[in-house]
Amino acid sequence: MIMIGNWNSWSFNNHCHILLKLAVAILLLGFTFRLFVAHYKGFASDLESHLSDKDQMPLADGFTERCDLFTGDWVPNPWGPAYSNGSCPWIEDHQNCMRNGRPDSGYLYWKWEPRDCQLPAFNAHTFLELMTNKALALIGDSISRNHVQSLLCMLSTVDRPVEVYYPSEDNKSRRWHFPSYNLTVINIWSPFLVKASIFEDINGVSTAEVQLHLDKLDKAWTDIYQSLDYMIISSGQWFLKAAIYHENDTIAGCHLCPGKNLTEIGFEYAYNKALRYVMDFIARSKHKGLIFFRTSTPDHFENGEWHNGGTCPKTTPAKEGEVKIKELCKILHDIELQEFGKAAAKAAYNDVNLKLLDFTKLLLSRPDAHPGPYRQFRPFEENKTAVVQNDCLHWCIPGAIDSWNDVIMDIVVNG
């Protein structure tokens, strides 16, 4: 009996021990399953979220696949620009703010940061590798020249370009060659993109109205169009100038031409007409390269304009909503978006790779980044209260315009 009792007691204890182990195992298994389900749901949710918004998906090389690169903020950049006015010989005197004695340097320490994704900094070596054996042209007005200087300065940190003689009627078009990569960069002076006769000096002083042919493209760029692999085409501000408009070799009207006995039809008509002609040419061209159309940039003249004492005294970026785009700049921008929109579908149908660079809003909040009075060399050295010409349209180099190259490189990499 004692043996049976001991056996029963041991058996009962052993049975309870097994049940306890089983219960603990079930509890652990349940807890693990709950963690797995929770983790899976979180992972699935994250994955679904990422897959539903491809703008957030980085490529292997660190660049974004798709993203609104043109909506963002200027954030502090303690490292500053990739080059200086001392290291780059391609900066035009009028945009060399550091050389000309601008006393503040805070405008150099900001970078553009899109809100939807990360924008890698411009990598000159990668860009040159992508552009090996290619031809890139920046076509437009003095803002295009402003931009090409910025690009040359950034690329010069890797390979020094050689300027090549480039014949042009106005001597304003220029060409450079990067020997190590066989890259050709061309800056083509064509402020209207259509045929024009201009009577103006370097300070914007005109002796006569522009003679503008709205139905004839400027051969300065169309003659080499098919030989180019990449193009950045732009216009805008020059259409605000006094001009006489021609169509079908007949005067159709004018803008700002009192006393000429001509019909005032305004710059809006002219810009619509000319830009539609340009866009239609591009959309039907069957071009196999990559063509950017860049919107015009805003100016920040205060208390006047270029010709009557306007200034731009700001030294920091504007807060969101603090600066409103001027009405004339808005009209230009609206026309650009309208005509690009019409051409985009036609270009896609014809397998023309046409993309929009809408930098208007990006630079609207940078009233601090213009040369201002420092388009001249040390303008206040002899007279602290001297009245000098201010430039609140172009951009200091180095400066905010360098951010354009970050955006363009991202598009080129992912295109």
Which residues are annotated as catalytic? 142, 391, 394
Q: Which residue in the block uniquely carries the two structure tokens 């295009």?
A: 144
* Amino acid, res. 314: K
Structure tokens at 397: 């180099």
In degrees and rounded to multiples of 5, residue 70 shows phi and psi of: -105, 0
Sheet of 250-255: strands edge to edge? 194-197, 210-217, 243-247, 250-255
CB atoms within 10 A of CB 394: 21
**Rounded Cα distance, 91 and 374, in Å:** 14
Secondary structure (3-state) at 151: helix
**What is d(CA 261, CA 48) in angstroms, rounded to the nearest whole number?**
66
CA distance 91 to 111: 20
Query: Cα–Cα distance between 267 and 264 in angstroms, integer?
Result: 9
How many other C-beta atoms can be found within 10 angstroms of the C-beta atom of residue 328?
17
- Per DSSP, the three-state class of 377 is coil
